[in-house]
Amino acid sequence: MAHSRLSLRSRIFIYMILLVVVASVLIAAVTIYQYHEQSKDYHKQRLDRKEAQILSSVNYVLKETSWPTESEYLDLIFKKDIYKIAHIVNVEFNLYDLEGTLVKGSRPSFTTDSLSRCLSPDILNYLKNSVDKRYTKKDERLGGDYRSSYVIFTNQKAKPIGILNVPYFEDDSFNDVELREFLKRLGYAYLVMLFVAVAFAYFVSRYITRSLKTISDKMDETRLEHRNKKIELKGASQDVSLLVESYNSMIDELEESAVKLATSEREQAWREMAKQVAHEIKNPLTPMRLSVQSFQRKFDPEDPNIHQKVKEYSKTLIQQIDTMSSIASAFSNFAKMPAQKKEMLNVVKVIDLALDIFTESYIIFVASEKEIIAKFDRTQLIRVLTNLVKNAIQALDTVEEKKIVVDVHTNAENVVISVTDNGTGISEDNKAKVFEPKFTTKSSGMGLGLPMIKNIIETYGGNINFTSQEHKGTEFRVTFPKE
């Protein structure tokens, strides 16, 4: 999900902006709702006041009239007074009898199109059944803004004699204008507040996540093989402080585990190496023992060929002793870490000199420049190159058209040396074991050459890798910085 890929800072920023926007929309909605509710209350109270004023005037006329206060005399009672009342209260109204027939209207003239001559049975039923004998409804024929109230009025004896109808127009134009002006001003205020919220959210999210960013960077830099620094944060929140304490505690545990692991691996490596050395030394000891035992049994001082036999016997012992010496030297060279001796040297010249010891005509040296200056140990560089070339020569034993190319060039700030052969290559099963100590595919040797040169190169901040295809050849590539 795209949302899940957002950073914590981005999410905090977006949520704060959304909070402001949603709050603004809710406040605007509540404002509009409140305006409508106030408008409804205002019109209801105004209609009630007008209705009360008219009823008061109607009761006064009924009290002062000389006509009997009965429903059939309403037309005569309010023949002229209805206009006076309408003029005094400034409201038009109509009078119906109890059967719902129009008796009198406050307008001097009216048409049946604009005024009902008879009330509907629903209105009459509601008026008769309601407790307060009053009913208010919207007049759909005149528009949704028109309302009509109907109320039964009585004479002095509390006897119902007629129905008062007060039509009322709800004029909200003034309120609507005020509402639009208010919303406009509110919109400007929200716009300013939104800009402020954006700036505030930016700095707040940055402040909140700053400590987490520090922790994240430190965690990215955490390595088992390196000494990791603890995090020190001042003024961090309680939650972040707990996280920092957990990280620092983890670093302590990691260092302890790294020390234990390194010690264990080192002990295991030396145990394996000791087994390998012991095995390699035992190999020449067996023929030496057999040679001595054979010489003891067959030694005859009177034998005329005794000098030749002693010579052959000595030659066999010397060969086995040389084998043991080479094993000891290989082990010593591997165990000894190369000293950090750096000197400015011309890599091209050193490689050219190192290749002079090889007499094979199929070794080709290619240099992109006549002079490539870098800081490296001359002896160690020769050591690396001769090991790689020897391995390449040995890989060509079964190849008819032999070829080894040694190439040196620069790449940005690095020196790149490649040794390529068209030999037997390295199988997929053996590729992962190439740089492991004591691994070898040869009938002789301890398999310490490549691990040793890998150790040398990494000591000088470089690296070594290879590509290989079976029966096609192998390329070893050494890279190290110029300085």
CB atoms inside a 10 Å sphere around CB 205:
20
Does residue 399 contact residue 366 with C-beta atoms inside 8 Å? no
- DSSP of 361-401, one letter per residue? TTEEEEESSS--EEEE-HHHHHHHHHHHHHHHHHTTTT-SS
User: Which string of b and e fits 93-123 if b means at least 16 CB within 10 Å?
Assistant: bbbbbeebebbbbbeeeeeeeebbeebeeeb
Q: Which residues pair with 165 in a beta bridge?
A: 94, 150
Listed in order, the ranges of the chain carrying CATH 3.30.565.10 are 343-481
SS3 sequence, 444-470? Answer: CCCCCHHHHHHHHHHHCCCEEEEEEEC
| Burial class (CB within 10 angstroms; exposed 0-12, middle 13-18, buried 19+) of 127 | buried
Find, among 323, 320, 341, 342, the residue nearest to 331 by Cα.
323
Q: What is the pLDDT of residue 290?
A: 65
Name the residue with tokens 């067959």: 298
Listed in order, the ranges of the chain carrying CATH 3.30.450.20 are 8-175
Q: What is the pLDDT of residue 110?
A: 45
Domain 8-175, CATH class in plain words: alpha beta
Distance, CA of 335 to CA of 464 (rounded, Å): 19
CB atoms inside a 10 Å sphere around CB 204:
15
Q: What end-to-end distance do the CA atoms of the chain give, in Å?
A: 46
Listed in order, the ranges of the chain carrying CATH 1.10.287 are 238-335
Distance, CA of 12 to CA of 156 (rounded, Å): 73
pLDDT tens for the chain, residues 1 to 483: 444 566 666 777 788 788 888 888 888 888 888 888 888 888 888 888 888 988 898 898 888 888 888 888 888 888 888 888 888 888 888 899 888 888 888 876 544 444 567 888 888 888 888 888 888 887 655 445 677 889 999 888 889 999 998 888 776 666 677 778 888 888 888 788 888 888 887 777 777 666 666 666 666 666 655 566 666 666 555 556 666 667 677 777 777 776 677 666 656 666 666 666 665 666 666 666 666 776 677 667 777 777 777 777 677 677 667 666 666 666 655 555 545 567 889 999 999 888 888 888 899 999 989 899 998 888 888 888 888 998 889 888 888 889 999 999 998 889 999 999 998 888 887 887 777 765 455 544 444 568 878 888 888 889 999 998 888 899 999 999 988
What kind of architecture, by CATH, is found in domain 238-335?
Orthogonal Bundle (1.10)
What kind of architecture, by CATH, is found in domain 343-481?
2-Layer Sandwich (3.30)
Provide the phi-psi class of 300: left if phi over 0, else alpha when psi is between -120 and 50, else beta: beta
List the structure tokens of 331. Answer: 């082990």
Does residue 147 contact residue 47 with C-beta atoms inside 8 Å? yes
Non-local (6+) Cβ contacts of 162 within 8 A are: 71, 74, 95, 96, 97, 98, 103, 152, 153
Q: pTM for the whole thing?
A: 0.39
Q: What is the pLDDT of residue 233?
A: 60
Find, among 91, 98, 93, 99, the residue nearest to 78 by Cα.
93
